[in-house]
Structure 1
Amino acid sequence: MSAYMTRKTDPETEKQDPPTREDRLKAALKANLQRRKAQARAREASEKNED
């Protein structure tokens, strides 16, 4: 390798800043809501099966 070769970086990833606190909280809230909905659906399904 030549000393003059530079490492190529992806312009898309270079532009992105690390997620802000608000972005992290939004993602965590979305994941939590999806998990709770899945739990509620599973609970409903199990209650119907008991009848």
Structure 2
Amino acid sequence: MERKPDKSGPKRVAQTREERLKAALKANLKRRKAQAKARSGADGESGNKQD
């Protein structure tokens, strides 16, 4: 028996790719926000301000 090619293949691949990219972007943004928060907290405590 032969298998017929799945016509929804490229669309499904594109959809899973978009979901992966969306998840990666969300994780990256979360990490960057945490880094910025940590930096601003560290800058405030040290008292070394740059003008």
Q: Common fold, TM-score beyond 0.5?
A: yes
- Alignment of 1:37 onto 2:33: yes
Q: Specify every segment of 5 or more residues in structure 1 that has no aligned partner in the other structure, as ranges.
A: 1-16
What is the TM-score with the length of structure 2 in the denominator? 0.62
Q: Distance in 2 between matches of 1:28 and 1:34?
A: 10
> What is the total number of aligned residue pairs between the two structures?
35
The higher-RCO structure (CA 8 Å, 6+ apart) is 2
In the other structure, the counterpart of 1:27 is 23
C-alpha RMSD over aligned residues = 1.9
Aligned structure 1 segments of 4 or more residues deviating by more than 6 angstroms: none
User: Share of identical aligned residues, percent?
Assistant: 62
Q: Which has the higher helix share?
A: 2
What is the TM-score with the length of structure 1 in the denominator? 0.62
